[in-house]
């Protein structure tokens, strides 16, 4: 597999893995939780690296995902005390954890490629540099198969708990009355989100991973309200944005992750403008018919 094809496939798979769970985050109005988790996983990655001593160790993903879940639990705890309102708990927890991570990176790993640039925006090309080989044949970036595994786990989880996720997302009170275990399912889903963000960290960093997870779902939400259609359209937008971003980055010699985020933003603006224009035309069309 050529390097360019590997980068393109990695971009598409990473975008899909992030965008699918982003649908439920958007519907649950937890979009900013993605921002918090994406920052909070950094100290978990560093601690996992300190323990394992290897950037390829799965312990990094586990430690980082648990740190991300800590943000969710801590935020809910502070909110339930009634002493803080709105997004104040998020504003307290994730900056503290992210700053700890930045300090650990600068103090303990300043001489390795886990630097502030990768932390913030990632490097998709660097992530695709190491290829998986079998009998002397290149099978593409090794990181591609990590993200493919995350994508398959996300799809399997959503397929298995589709009805439960739908009910707890739109009417959690009814779900509790019907005997659904709302809180354990919520924590399991948020742990999966933490794992996804951690896995995408190398390619998209703590900032761009938020765009990959939220913008495709937000764009699809402008067009449809039905959950099944929302999931399908989000996947289509994720693929289109990833391919467009990769092509633009290659043509302009720019950062692939950054161009992907820009492409998603551009698609959102175009769809938003189209929806506004169509909404403005509808009263006129109705009046003419009348």
Q: How far is CA 74 from CA 141, 155, 160, 195, 289, in A?
A: 36, 27, 28, 18, 56
**Residue 192 within any structural domain of the chain:** yes
**Residue 194 within any structural domain of the chain:** yes
**Residue 71 within any structural domain of the chain:** yes
CATH number for the domain harbouring residue 115:
1.10.3470.10
Domain of 171, in residue numbers: 3-212
**Residue 285 within any structural domain of the chain:** no
**Residue 89 within any structural domain of the chain:** yes
**Domains identified in the chain, total number:** 1
**Residue 146 within any structural domain of the chain:** yes
**Residue 263 within any structural domain of the chain:** no
How confident is the model at residue 289, as a pLDDT? 46
**Residue 248 within any structural domain of the chain:** no
What is the mean pLDDT for each group of 10 consecutive residues in the chain (290 residues)?
Answer: 79 91 89 76 76 70 80 80 74 78 71 53 65 72 86 94 88 78 85 85 71 91 91 94 89 81 91 83 56
283 CB-contact burial (10 Å; exposed 0-12 / middle 13-18 / buried 19+) = exposed
How confident is the model at residue 99, as a pLDDT? 80
The answer to whether 248 and 261 are in contact (CB under 8 A) is no
Alpha-carbon gap, residue 181 to 172, rounded angstroms: 10
């Amino acid at each position: 597999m050529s390097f360019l094809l590997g980068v393109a496939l990695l971009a598409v798979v990473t975008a899909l893995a992030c965008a699918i769970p982003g649908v439920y985050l958007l519907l649950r109005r937890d979009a900013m939780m993605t921002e918090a988790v994406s920052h909070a996983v950094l100290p978990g990655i560093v601690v996992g690296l300190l323990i394992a001593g290897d950037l390829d160790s799965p312990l990094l993903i586990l430690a980082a995902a648990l740190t991300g879940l800590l943000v969710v639990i801590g935020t809910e705890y502070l909110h339930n005390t009634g002493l803080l309102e709105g997004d104040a708990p998020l504003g307290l927890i994730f900056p503290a954890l992210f700053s700890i991570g930045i300090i650990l990176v600068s103090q303990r790993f300043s001489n390795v490629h886990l630097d502030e640039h990768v932390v913030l925006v990632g490097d998709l090309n660097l992530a695709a540099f190491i290829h998986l080989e079998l009998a002397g044949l290149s099978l593409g970036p090794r990181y591609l198969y990590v993200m493919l595994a995350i994508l398959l786990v996300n799809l399997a989880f959503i397929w298995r708990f589709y009805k439960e996720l739908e009910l707890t997302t739109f009417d959690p009170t009814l779900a509790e009355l019907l005997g659904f275990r709302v809180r354990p399912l919520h924590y399991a889903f948020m742990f999966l989100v933490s794992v996804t963000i951690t896995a995408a960290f190398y390619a998209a960093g703590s900032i761009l991973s938020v765009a990959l997870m939220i913008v495709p779902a937000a764009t699809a939400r402008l067009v449809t309200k039905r959950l099944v259609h929302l999931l399908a359209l989000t996947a289509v937008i994720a693929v289109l944005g990833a391919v467009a971003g990769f092509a633009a980055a290659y043509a302009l010699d720019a950062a692939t992750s950054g161009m992907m985020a820009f492409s998603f933003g551009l698609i959102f603006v175009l769809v938003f403008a189209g929806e506004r224009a169509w909404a403005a035309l509808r009263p006129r069309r109705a009046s003419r018919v009348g």
